[in-house]
């Protein structure tokens, strides 16, 4: 098992290195450099800026300097906001995003798994139809549409919940639903189909032949087995929440990292784009790794594969 | 029965009869697809949307980019006031202008402002020689007779000039919707086509070659699949700049990983089957085997992946459009239309809900068709 | 012999999208105390469905439409689910065909057997139950039971898993054991060991066994009595010796002919019955075997024959055993 994890870890480090390399190359291949597009920057000023940000060094040197700084946790300065560093953006934005994301993922797990179990147990009955209808809507309607509808109904029409900010628990309700909507639906569908498949397995028949009651069969024999494929999609779910946060933070005016990222894209703040991309990628890979470890712990078969 | 002890003649054919209807593979798929009402509904919706997007602009008098600042933010259903002479109606815009509306519900031009009567919180307009007042003392604003201050009688009528209303620049939403749907579908189809080609080539080679080549190629795929797609697409958009071509390139190169995996899996499972061995024994070339035997057999699962990729691509395009890193105005896509409408959500919700509805329709339709196809193509379900 | 289980006129169907599949169309059987009854037939003949109907372990699409299954004076079909659960595993237990999938892959095998005992006797102390399980493991010849107790099913071979299943099935010393093709998925050598074990255990516990198989060779080794099924019906039922020596039905003859006989020439050593089993959504109104039967008459295609008593405890469902059947060259029973 340890060997397996080391292998996974190694692959992730390679992936991370490639991501850094690719983002670096992409950012430095933009014709003319970051300051040429500014109208009011004179030749001399541009030269000075290039000097200041070491843009005149040969690219490989710049790259290794950058990677060296990354290893110290230094993402470098922002090109657009003088005096600000990319680390400032991450330090300000990430805690806000992480809190919203944490609440959402908790909500997602607590809502989707019971939904999926209910739908599977009541297979074909109205409870199943209801859950599946909600889940289908959740995976097909883009989050910004859901958010707009929610804001229109609950904020503008009813005035019950704020349409922006995270100042009180009320402020969390709409963003969390919007952000989690897709994942809840996706996980609920996964849970349902996974549990249905497990319930058709031979060992469930064995459990029935033992004389166990249905609730006991589900709790002791079916749930854990049905959870395994659901856990595998938890990693991508975190990724979905992350990118979903771009939209949600924009709509609900949450000052998180997602908004900073989108702003830096529209403002072409190259170092921030690069830094935040690498930060996101690292975070995601770490998440996928954690899910992997968890997966190995719950399924005894994996050790021997 | 006279002859009850006579020998029963039964042909071998009857004995070996397979107790199932015999259909061709395609016929079988179509039979099972047809029995899913959601799949058929999705299929019909896709056809209707295609017609709407491709043929629709031929039936409209407006262009997607022409702005008419006289009629800004007009909803499909308007509250109008009777004109004093009864020959038409008056409509108050959100910018507190008064627009003439003909009896049949088509829009005329803005009335000329005569003077401001701030003492009575009124703006006086000239309506065919008669003076009418727009009273803005409290909400809702109403049209009154400036002398008697009697409110004109009001009613709700449908907007006949702009069936779905206008946006914040006075453009016809219906027309923009047609072009938006066209762009969204175009982006999705082209992007998926590009993915398909890359995926088939990559997956086909990997699966067919096997061994080290396969291992290396799949390791590459593994590594790429750990990179979050959205980040990648956004980065590509940063380099290429916003615009239709960039979106297509960005989306076209992002989803092939799944496709490559599907194709490789199919090729791997198919290549050791007898008919491929047979083809190899009679000396067919690699290319023939690949094109004549493997790809057609793998087509089923590829088709399902394609129908599932299209909504993903539309989703992603709408996502980019909504974040403001998609198309450049005045070009419209469903995503940018939603984005443009968010500022006016409180007063003009229809501007957002209409394109949002179309996005949902497309998503539902393709998902249903994809589900239907997957079930229809899955031979395990055959009973 | 005192019957322990009595199945009468059992009819079980599956509701599918293509219509009702009549898998069992009126089966009556009895199992005596301490008896091993074999049910033989090709796949789709309804033998497994009959067995599953006893404990009502069929899938949701199945319906038991008619019949009674009497076990110790109670009708299992009408019995409330809760009461039936008390019988499952305690009085009647089952072994299934595929030992690979019949054990929960995420639970150590020892605990799965333990669960069987504790479910029906929840007050027993844990250590005591564990001791019982280890004893059972020893009895079914699982080497190093102490070490194997905590292992997961994937660490076992197919034969070992089936032994675990047998240990589980015998844990509560049931009155009846239903074994649904328990050796089909195993190697021939392992098959033999499992059969010998079943035989021993039957002797030791006095458990009656219903043994379902498509293999007449296995039946000959193990069973006291055999019922041959085809098309959802019993075609012939006889004591084990009669089946081989006084075969009473053309289908059984066909089955016997398809068991390779080493005494014969290579060319005719292995024979098969031409044709394929009937479509059970629309079963033939006559004898289901008629289209494949080399001796079939016009009558066979239009009417379903009743049972004819052809010997002590031996009955056969064939018109050619009727007293008015002509003794011509094409009647194998009247020569």
pLDDT digits (tens, 9 = 90+) for C38-68: 999 888 888 889 988 988 888 888 888 888 9
Q: How many CB pairs under 8 A join B and C?
A: 50
Chain B partners within 8 Å of A139 (Cβ):
367
Q: Please report the pLDDT score of residue C202 as a whole number.
A: 82
Q: Which of B1, B2, B5 to mutate to test the interface with C (most CBs of C within 10 A)?
A: B5
Q: Flag whether residue B61 sits within 8 Å of chain C, measured between CB atoms.
A: no
Q: Please report the pLDDT score of residue C226 as a whole number.
A: 92
Beta-carbon separation of A265 and B238 below 8 A: yes
pLDDT by 10s per residue, chain A, length 305: 677 788 878 878 888 888 888 888 877 776 655 555 555 566 677 677 677 667 777 778 888 888 888 888 788 887 777 778 888 888 888 888 888 888 998 999 999 999 999 998 888 888 888 988 888 888 888 888 888 888 888 888 887 787 777 777 888 888 888 888 888 988 998 899 889 888 888 899 999 998 888 888 998 888 888 888 888 788 778 777 877 788 888 888 888 888 888 888 877 777 888 888 888 888 888 887 888 787 777 777 665 44
Beta-carbon separation of C96 and A200 below 8 A: no
Name residue A52's beta-bridge partners.
none
- pLDDT (average), residues B76-97: 76
Chain B residue with CA closest to C19: the answer is: B383
The token pair at B271 is: 């290549």
Work out the angle at residue C111's Cα, subtended by the Cα atoms of residues C107 and C115, and round it to the nearest 5 degrees: 110
A204, A223 Cβ separation under 8 angstroms: no
Q: How many Å separate Cα A112 from the centre of its chain?
A: 17
Q: Please report the pLDDT score of residue C43 as a whole number.
A: 82
d(CA A135, CA A183): 9
Cα dist. C83→A295, C75, C87, C124 in Å? 38, 11, 7, 21
Query: Is the pLDDT reported for residue C326 higher than 50?
Result: yes
Query: Is the pLDDT reported for residue C264 higher than 70?
Result: no
- pLDDT (average), residues B352-367: 86
Name residue A186's beta-bridge partners.
none
Q: What is the mean pLDDT of chain C?
A: 85
Query: Is the pLDDT reported for residue B158 higher than 70?
Result: yes
Assign residue C95 a region: left if phi > 0, alpha if psi is -120 to 50, beta otherwise? beta
d(CA B294, CA B134): 73
Residue C291 C-alpha, separation from nearest chain B C-alpha, in angstroms: 6
The ipTM (two decimal places) reads: 0.84
In the sheet that B112-117 helps form, which strands lie side by side, from edge to edge?
B112-117, B122-127, B130-135, B142-144
Q: Which of B3, B10, B22 to mutate to test the interface with C (most CBs of C within 10 A)?
A: B10
The token pair at A52 is: 């200041």
Q: Please report the pLDDT score of residue C269 as a whole number.
A: 54
B374-378, C111-115, C225-229, C239-243: which has the minimum mean pLDDT? B374-378
Nearest to B174 by CA among B60, B328, B330: B60
C300, C290 Cβ separation under 8 angstroms: yes
Chain C residue with CA closest to B21: the answer is: C18
Q: Which of C59, C88, C106 sits opposite A225 (nearest CB)?
A: C106
Angle between helices A86-121 and A223-232 (to 10 degrees): 150
pLDDT digits (tens, 9 = 90+) for B308-330: 888 888 888 888 888 877 777 77
Q: Please report the pLDDT score of residue B14 as a whole number.
A: 56
- The top-scoring range by mean pLDDT among B19-28, B157-166, B346-355 is B346-355
DSSP per position, B39-82: HHHHHHHHHHHHHHHHHGGGG-SS-SS---TTS-S--SEEEEEE
pLDDT digits (tens, 9 = 90+) for C113-170: 988 888 888 888 888 888 988 988 888 888 888 888 888 888 888 888 888 888 888 8
Q: Please report the pLDDT score of residue B381 as a whole number.
A: 44
Q: Please report the pLDDT score of residue C39 as a whole number.
A: 92
Beta-carbon separation of C279 and B14 below 8 A: no
Three-state DSSP class for residue B378: coil
Residue A205 C-alpha, separation from nearest chain C C-alpha, in angstroms: 7
What confidence category does residue C227 fall into, taking pLDDT thresholds of 50, 70 and 90? very high
Chain B residue with CA closest to C290: the answer is: B8
The token pair at C136 is: 């059972």
Q: Please report the pLDDT score of residue B246 as a whole number.
A: 83
Chain B residue with CA closest to C283: the answer is: B19
The token pair at C55 is: 């404990």
Q: Please report the pLDDT score of residue A57 as a whole number.
A: 73
A132-141, B127-136, C300-309: which has the minimum mean pLDDT? B127-136
Chain C partners within 8 Å of A304 (Cβ):
154-155
Beta-carbon separation of A213 and C152 below 8 A: no
Parallel, antiparallel, or unpaired: how do β-strands B88-92 and B98-102 relate?
antiparallel
- pLDDT (average), residues B152-180: 79
Beta-carbon separation of B15 and C300 below 8 A: no
Three-state DSSP class for residue C262: coil
Q: Please report the pLDDT score of residue C270 as a whole number.
A: 58
Q: Please state, as a whole number, how many other Cβ atoms lie within 10 Å of the Cβ of residue A104.
A: 24
Q: Please report the pLDDT score of residue A305 as a whole number.
A: 42
Q: Please report the pLDDT score of residue A304 as a whole number.
A: 44
Beta-carbon separation of C296 and B8 below 8 A: yes
Beta-carbon separation of B338 and A12 below 8 A: no
> B242 or C94: which carries more pLDDT confidence?
C94
Q: Which of C278, C291, C297 sits opposite B7 (nearest CB)?
A: C297
Chain C partners within 8 Å of B4 (Cβ):
297-299
Query: Is the pLDDT reported for residue B78 higher than 80?
Result: no
> C268 or C272: which carries more pLDDT confidence?
C272
Q: Flag whether residue B324 sits within 8 Å of chain A, measured between CB atoms.
A: yes
Residue A55 C-alpha, separation from nearest chain B C-alpha, in angstroms: 18
Three-state DSSP class for residue C269: helix
Q: Which of C102, C118, C152, C177 to mutate to test the interface with A (most CBs of A within 10 A)?
A: C102
- The top-scoring range by mean pLDDT among A41-50, B98-107, B372-381 is B98-107
Query: Is the pLDDT reported for residue C78 higher than 70?
Result: yes
Q: Which of B39, B233, B238 to mutate to test the interface with A (most CBs of A within 10 A)?
A: B238
What confidence category does residue B379 fall into, taking pLDDT thresholds of 50, 70 and 90? low
Query: Is the pLDDT reported for residue C239 higher than 60?
Result: yes
Hey, what domains does chain C have and what are their CATH numbers?
A: 1-91+174-335 (3.40.50.300), 106-171 (no CATH)
DSSP per position, C28-90: EEEEETT-EEEEE--TTSSHHHHHHHHHT---TTEEEEEEEEEETTEETTTS-HHHHHHHBTT
Which chains contact C through at least 3 pairs of Cβ atoms less than 8 Å apart? A, B
């Amino acid at each position: 098992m340890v060997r397996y994890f080391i292998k996974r870890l190694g692959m992730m480090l390679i992936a991370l290195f490639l991501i850094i390399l690719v983002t670096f190359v992409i950012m430095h291949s933009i014709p003319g450099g970051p300051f040429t597009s500014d109208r009011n920057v004179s030749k001399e000023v541009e030269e000075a800026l290039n000097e200041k940000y070491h843009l005149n060094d040969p690219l490989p040197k710049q790259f290794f300097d950058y990677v060296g700084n990354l290893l110290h946790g230094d993402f470098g300065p922002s090109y657009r906001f003088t005096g600000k560093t990319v680390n400032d953006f991450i330090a300000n934005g990430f805690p806000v995003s992480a809190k919203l994301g944490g609440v959402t993922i908790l909500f997602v797990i607590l809502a989707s798994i019971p939904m999926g179990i209910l739908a599977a147990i009541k297979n074909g009955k109205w409870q199943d139809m209801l859950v599946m209808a909600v889940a289908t809507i959740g995976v097909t309607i883009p989050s910004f549409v859901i958010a707009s509808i929610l804001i229109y109904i609950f904020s503008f029409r009813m005035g019950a919940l704020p349409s922006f900010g995270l100042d009180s628990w009320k402020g969390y309700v709409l963003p969390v639903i919007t952000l989690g909507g897709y994942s809840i639906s996706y996980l609920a569908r996964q849970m349902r189909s996974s549990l249905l498949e497990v319930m058709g397995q031979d060992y469930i028949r064995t459990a029935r032949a033992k004389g166990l009651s249905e609730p006991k069969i589900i709790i002791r024999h079916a749930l854990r087995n049905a959870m395994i494929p659901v856990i595998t999609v938890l990693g991508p779910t975190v990724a979905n929440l992350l990118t979903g946060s771009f939209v949600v933070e924009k709509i609900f005016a949450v000052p998180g990292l997602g908004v900073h990222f989108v702003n830096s894209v529209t403002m072409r703040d190259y170092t921030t784009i690069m830094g935040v991309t690498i930060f996101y990628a690292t975070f995601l890979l770490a998440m996928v790794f954690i899910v992997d470890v968890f997966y190995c712990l719950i399924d005894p078969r994996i050790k021997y594969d | 029965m006279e002859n009850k002890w006579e020998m029963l003649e039964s042909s071998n054919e009857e004995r070996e009869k397979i107790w199932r209807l015999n259909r061709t593979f395609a016929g079988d798929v179509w039979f099972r697809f047809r029995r899913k009402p959601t799949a058929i509904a999705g299929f019909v919706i896709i056809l209707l949307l295609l017609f709407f997007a491709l043929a629709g602009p031929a039936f409209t008098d407006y262009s997607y980019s022409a702005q008419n600042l006289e009629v800004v933010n007009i909803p499909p259903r308007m509250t109008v006031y009777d004109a004093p002479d009864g020959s038409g109606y008056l409509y108050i815009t959100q910018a507190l202008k008064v627009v003439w509306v003909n009896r049949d519900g088509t829009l005329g031009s803005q009335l000329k402002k005569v003077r401001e009567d701030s003492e009575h919180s009124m703006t006086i307009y000239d309506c065919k020689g008669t003076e009418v007042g727009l009273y803005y003392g409290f909400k809702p604003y109403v049209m009154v007779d400036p002398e008697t201050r009697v409110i004109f009688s009001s009613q709700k009528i449908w907007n006949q000039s702009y069936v779905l209303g206008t946006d914040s620049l006075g453009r016809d939403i219906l027309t923009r919707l047609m072009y938006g749907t066209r762009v969204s579908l175009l982006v999705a189809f082209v992007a998926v086509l590009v993915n398909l080609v890359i995926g088939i080539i990559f997956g086909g080679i990997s699966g067919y070659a096997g061994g080290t080549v396969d291992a290396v190629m799949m390791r590459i795929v593994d590594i790429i699949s750990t990179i979050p797609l959205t980040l990648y697409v956004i980065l590509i958009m940063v380099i290429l700049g916003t615009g239709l071509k960039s979106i297509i390139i960005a989306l076209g190169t992002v989803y092939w990983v799944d496709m490559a995996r599907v194709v490789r899996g199919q090729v791997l499972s198919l290549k050791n089957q007898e008919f491929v061995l047979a083809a190899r024994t009679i000396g067919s070339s690699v290319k023939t085997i690949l094109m004549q035997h493997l790809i057609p057999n793998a087509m089923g699962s590829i088709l399902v992946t394609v129908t599932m990729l299209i909504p993903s691509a539309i989703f992603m395009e709408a996502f980019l459009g909504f974040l403001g890193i998609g198309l450049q105005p005045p070009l419209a896509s469903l995503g940018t239309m939603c984005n443009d409408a968010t500022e006016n959500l409180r007063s003009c919700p229809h501007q957002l809900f209409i394109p949002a509805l179309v996005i949902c329709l497309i998503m539902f339709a393709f998902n249903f068709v994809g589900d239907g196809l997957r079930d229809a193509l899955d031979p395990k379900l055959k009973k | 012999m005192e019957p322990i289980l009595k199945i009468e006129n059992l009819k079980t169907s599956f509701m599918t999208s293509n219509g009702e599949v009549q898998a069992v169309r009126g089966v009556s059987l009895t199992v005596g105390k301490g008896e091993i009854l074999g049910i033989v037939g090709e796949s789709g003949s309804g033998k497994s469905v009959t067995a599953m109907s006893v404990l009502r372990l069929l899938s949701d699409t199945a319906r038991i439409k008619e019949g009674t299954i009497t076990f110790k004076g109670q009708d299992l079909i009408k019995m409330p689910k809760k009461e039936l659960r008390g019988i499952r595993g305690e009085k009647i237990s089952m072994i299934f065909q595929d030992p690979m999938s019949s054990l929960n892959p995420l639970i150590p095998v020892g605990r799965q057997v333990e669960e069987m005992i504790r479910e029906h006797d929840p007050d027993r102390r844990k250590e005591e139950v564990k001791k019982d399980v280890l004893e059972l493991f020893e009895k079914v010849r699982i080497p190093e039971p102490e070490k194997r107790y905590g292992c997961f099913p994937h660490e076992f071979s197919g034969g070992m898993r089936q032994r675990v299943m047998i240990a589980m099935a015998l844990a509560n010393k049931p009155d009846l054991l239903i074994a649904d093709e328990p050796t089909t998925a195993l190697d021939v050598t392992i098959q033999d060991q499992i059969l010998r074990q079943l035989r021993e255990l039957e002797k030791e516990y006095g458990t009656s066994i219903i043994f379902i198989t498509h293999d007449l060779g296995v039946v000959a080794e193990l069973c006291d009595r055999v019922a041959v099924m085809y098309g959802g019906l019993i075609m012939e039922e006889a004591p084990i010796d009669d089946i081989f020596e006084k075969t009473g039905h053309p289908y059984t003859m066909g089955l016997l002919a398809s068991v390779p006989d080493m005494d014969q020439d290579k060319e005719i050593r292995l024979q098969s019955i031409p044709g394929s089993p009937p479509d059970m959504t629309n079963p033939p109104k006559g004898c289901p075997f008629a289209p494949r039967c080399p001796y079939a008459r016009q009558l066979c295609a239009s009417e379903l024959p009743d049972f004819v008593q052809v010997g002590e405890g031996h009955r056969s469902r064939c018109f050619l055993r009727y007293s008015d059947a002509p003794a011509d060259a094409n009647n194998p029973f009247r020569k």
